[in-house]
A and B are shown apart, each in its own frame.
Chain A
Amino acid sequence: MTILALDWGFIVEKLIMIAIVVFASLGIALYTTFGERKVAAILQDRPGPSRAGPFGLLQPLADGLKLIMKEEIIPNAANKWLFILGPGLAMTASLMTCAVIPWGSAIDVFGRHVELQIADVNIGILYVFAVVSMGVYGIMIGGWASNNKFSLMSALRAASQAISYELAMGLALIALLMSTGSLSLKTIVEQQVQGNWWNVVYQPLGFLIFFITAMAECNRTPFDLPEAENELNFGYHQEYSSMKLGFYLFAEYINMIMSSAIMASMYFGGYDLPFFNEASVAPNIAAMIGVGTLLIKIVLFIFLFMWIRWTIPRFRYDQLMGLGWKTLIPLALFNMLLTGALILAKL
């Protein structure tokens, strides 16, 4: 009776990991919306949401409840299936990224050695790339299915922006991969834990390019042209209401968390707490400290995203394309060549 000679514990362990990671990202995303409003308010000398619950902490729940209670409207002229598929796809694509992020080293529970990563695939970064580029389909499909010229324009913008910036992002990553020699996120993080320096020291230009392109991929200001209120009314989610709109808005925040996690893992040592010897405490506690460290790094990155959003105005469309094609791609190519030369010279 060994038709399925599976390690059932492994499946259970992974399912629990998936549940924890997905719900944690949803919860963090919920409070990122709150954080965004608070950060915006504080940067503008206002108190921000403070009415719902102590310090306004129940505000995101109230927002979610409001979105759910709103009337669901599907326009007559819309393509119904694609209209519903759009937000679902956006959400799925942004949540799928979390599968390859190493959240911590490993813990021992009930005699099992549990890696704090859903899937340590050896092509982790390629996977992230594939999923991130799928994210634009959510916007494209939503914009197309709305049958609204503004939505369509916004979808076109989103697609061209994603294509332009993915190139530079990929080129910036190639330089990193050349120096680390691995596509697995776990390996990249472990190298940084064992090595002296984080990758950002070896790849400062690469990080800068990756950061800018990540901001563009998340459709964050100054690259939020698909959502430009003043010329596109609202962008690709103009016709959306209720929780479908909520999904789009939510997907943006999850994207932000995921790109922060990836940047923290690839360039800032992931779960590595600097100047701290992990071997000096019990392995489980060390792993938990690692998870906390990664979360702190993610929060700092999210704050950086928000800080930039509330400082810089939006690019014009030609400026966006100019920056992508004429600046970032040549810079990324230069960075790649430089890295290659330095590796060859064994520096």
Chain B
Amino acid sequence: MQALTNKAQAVSRKPMTFLERLYLINILKGMMITFSHMFKKQPTIRYPEEKREFSPVFRGLHVLNRDEEGRERCTACGLCAVACPAEAITMEAAERVEGEEGMYREEKYAAKYEINMLRCIFCGLCEDACPKDAIYLSETFAPANFTRKGFIYGKSDLLIPNPKTEATAFAEAKGVEA
């Protein structure tokens, strides 16, 4: 029979020698191997106390960004929803009225902005699609929840804290990624 690959090796059918049949020496060898593992470094990360560093390009939970003056950048253009392959994003637009200039950067804004974290595949296409730099993926992931409804994140969950009023919370949320 022709071998499919050249990796095949002939199995040795040689009868065992007396020492091999004694079995004890091989057991001792095996025990030495397990013993040597006592001094190996454990790869375990003790999760809640220790956390693994994510790479800087990690795509985690979404954040709706604000500009330097604390105004929401999102204009509810819907490009992210169009780009989303999982159809996880829905939004409703509204028009900015007089006196809301400090809250929204442009005349149009997202009155409702929801991402279903059960549908989201964290591909980051929304981030790429956004012309206003309003949405980006952070370095955290969506925590567990008891209900499906709990995974639909609204604006209150997604919006980054206001850099003007809550500077420390903003810096914390921003993390290393600009």
Contact = CB atoms under 8 A, between A and B. Distances in A.
7 contacts: A43-B34, A44-B37, A45-B40, A45-B43, A208-B24, A307-B31, A311-B31
A46 interface: yes
B176 interface: no
B59 to A, nearest CB: 30
B103 to A, nearest CB: 46
Contact of B42 (A45, A307, A310, A312): A45
B150 interface: no
B44 interface: yes
Interface string A308-325: 101110000000000000
B27 interface: yes
A308 B33 CA distance: 11
B42 A308 contact: no
B146 interface: no
Interface in A286-335: 307-308, 310-312
Contacts of B30: 311-312
Contacts of B44: 46-47
B25 to A, nearest CB: 13
B35 interface: yes
B40 A310 contact: no
Nearest to B30: A311
A42 B37 CA distance: 7
B31 A308 contact: yes
B27 A47 contact: no
Contacts, number: 32
Nearest to A212: B24
Interface size class of A (residues with CB under 8 A): 10 to 19
Report the 9 A-B pairs with minimum CB-CB distance, sorted nearest first.
A311-B34, A43-B34, A311-B30, A311-B31, A47-B44, A42-B38, A45-B42, A45-B40, A43-B37
B149 interface: no
A307 B40 contact: no
Contacts of A307: 31, 34-35
B46 interface: yes
Nearest to A43: B34
Contacts of B33: 311
Contacts of A160: none
Contacts of B35: 43, 307
A342 B64 CA distance: 89
A122 interface: no
A311 B27 CA distance: 8
A137 B38 CA distance: 37
B46 A50 contact: yes
Interface in A34-67: 42-47, 50
B24 to A, nearest CB: 8
A311 B44 CA distance: 21
A312 B37 contact: no
